[in-house]
Amino acid sequence: MNILDFLPEEAVLPELRAHSKAEVLEELAAPVARLAAIPVEELVTVLLERERLGSTGIGGGIGIPHGKHRRLERLMIGFGRSREGVDFESLDGRPTRLFFLLVTPENSTGSHLQMLARISRMLKHEPFKERLLQAADRREIREIIRQEDQEP
């Protein structure tokens, strides 16, 4: 199970314009909702409900907003980068710059947790994060993810 199998090129946003947590969620959700043929408002609501349980800003400039949607047919991933950083109520209180959005069907607990763990593990590698921050465009971002996400 590779990240790029679930991360379409259109869902890679190398220049987020958002300046708040709600704006980030809406901007990240828009292409995923469009590709999944579900209303973006529904997806944003799911993500905001998850954020109420505790921030998905895990620190170190990383956010992994995630949730489950009843009308989603398969796991989907989005990616966004904010060069300035956004206050995402991160655990370390620092601005968040790299975001992986993960949404799954309601009944897919195993794949949801497996992909969350996979993304989290990759983001522990500082050189990987730095390459994502420096990438020129969405194609380069996808290539960096592909290189890092080689099956063991």
User: Which of the residues 19, 66, 69, 125 is marked catalytic?
Assistant: 66
- Burial of 112-132, coded b for 16+ CB within 10 Å and e otherwise, reads beebbebbeebbeeeebbebb
The partner residues of 99 in beta bridges, in order of sequence, read: 63, 80
For residue 29, what is the enclosing H or E element? Answer: helix 21-36
66 is catalytic: yes
72 and 124 in contact (C-beta within 8 Å)? no
Tell me which residue of 80, 74, 72 sits closest to 27, measured CA to CA. Answer: 80
Q: What is the DSSP string of 92-132?
A: TSSPEEEEEEEEEETT-HHHHHHHHHHHHHHTT-HHHHHHH
- Residues with catalytic function: 66
